[in-house]
Structure 1
């Protein structure tokens, strides 16, 4: 079943258009990678799906319902969670307080969801009483993902989850994303780390200068000469 359908969206910041006629879909249970260089429009697309931006043309549907003109606080209760680039955790609150804030739209079953987050990210349980601002960069990213899971989403939007992390932590984060998907959460992943993104994705799309340029299975994109030349150092 198609969970997310992005249909011909144009997006602008004021008078400056940055996305042109972008269409793609995400099927329930998939991990889909949205790839492209810095400035390609990937983050803009995510922000348009989850509410901070509104398309000037086209539409977005989730579970068959149009959400393209909804605000973020209206999108989250429908089952969509956005983990933004830069994490945006509450530095002066504890790890546990940050996680509990992630469940603000859905308090039922909070204890079970908290246990699930701690199972995926044991380091968060070890540091649950610690202020979030004192965590390492990798731990803060784990916290941002864990907080997103606390709303029990059907679809999680991840923006540059590996940005600025040491290689060993990058692998941990991607392994966690893979596990989250295997446990039933659909994932749309925006990444500049193309190798790791295609390692865990089922399919991918490539944005270039705000336009959809390529699409295919993860295996097809990983072996495509155009992808290799532009993003894989080939």
Structure 2
């Protein structure tokens, strides 16, 4: 069953259009990768889905309900969580305080979600009283993902989860994303690490200069030379 449907959206920053006629879908239980080089428009698409931006044309529906004109604080309670590039954690607060803030739309389920997050990321439980700004980069990324899980979302939008991490930590993060999906949360993954993204994804889309140019099963895209070419601008 289709969970998210993006249909023919155009997006602009002021008078400058950056997304043209983009359409794609995400079904319940899938991990879908949105791939492309820097500046391709991937982050803009996520921001348009979750509220900070609105499409100038086209529609976005979630669970069959239009959400394209909603603000972010209206989208989150419907079951969409956005984990942005750069993590945006509260560095002066503890790990547990950061996680608690993620449950503001789900106060009744907070205890269960703490248990789930600590099960996926045992390191966060070990450091639950530690100031978030003192965590390593990998641990901060785990915290950002964990905070997103605290709202018990149906769909997680993950923006460059592996960016800037050491290879061993990249593997840990992708393992965690795979597990979160296996436990029932649908994932839309924006990622420059093509190999790892397509390894855990069911399907993928390639964005170039604000336009979708390729789509298909993840295994097929992993073998498609045009995917690598899109990162080199040709």
TM > 0.5 fold call: yes
Task: Please say if 1:91 is aligned against 2:88.
Answer: no
Task: Please say if 1:100 is aligned against 2:100.
Answer: yes
Whether the 8 Å CA contact 1:37–1:208 is kept in 2: the answer is yes
After TM superposition, where is structure 1 displaced by more than 3 Å over at least 4 residues in a row? 228-232
Task: Please say if 1:201 is aligned against 2:204.
Answer: no
Distance between the aligned counterparts of 2:48 and 2:63, measured in 1? 16
Corresponding position of 1:43: 43
Corresponding position of 1:150: 150
Distance between the aligned counterparts of 1:126 and 1:80, measured in 2? 28
Corresponding position of 1:182: 182
Aligned-pair CA distance for 1:225 = 1.6
Aligned-pair CA distance for 1:106 = 1.2
Secondary structure in 2 matching 1:85: coil
Task: Please say if 1:173 is aligned against 2:178.
Answer: no
Task: Please say if 1:110 is aligned against 2:110.
Answer: yes
Secondary structure in 2 matching 1:77: helix
Secondary structure in 2 matching 1:213: strand
RMSD value over aligned CA atoms? 0.8
Whether the 8 Å CA contact 1:194–1:231 is kept in 2: the answer is no
Q: Deviations over 1:161-202 (max 9, x none)?
A: 000000000000000000000000000000000000000000
Secondary structure in 1 matching 2:33: strand
Corresponding position of 1:120: 120
Distance between the aligned counterparts of 2:229 and 2:164, measured in 1? 23
Distance between the aligned counterparts of 2:219 and 2:153, measured in 1? 27
Query: Normalised by the size of structure 2, how large is the TM-score?
Result: 0.98
Aligned-pair CA distance for 1:125 = 0.3
Aligned-pair CA distance for 1:231 = 4.2
Aligned length: 232
Corresponding position of 2:64: 64
Distance between the aligned counterparts of 1:187 and 1:108, measured in 2? 24
Aligned-pair CA distance for 1:228 = 3.2
* Residue segments in structure 1 that go unaligned for 5+ positions in a row: none
Task: Please say if 1:138 is aligned against 2:135.
Answer: no
Secondary structure in 2 matching 1:108: helix
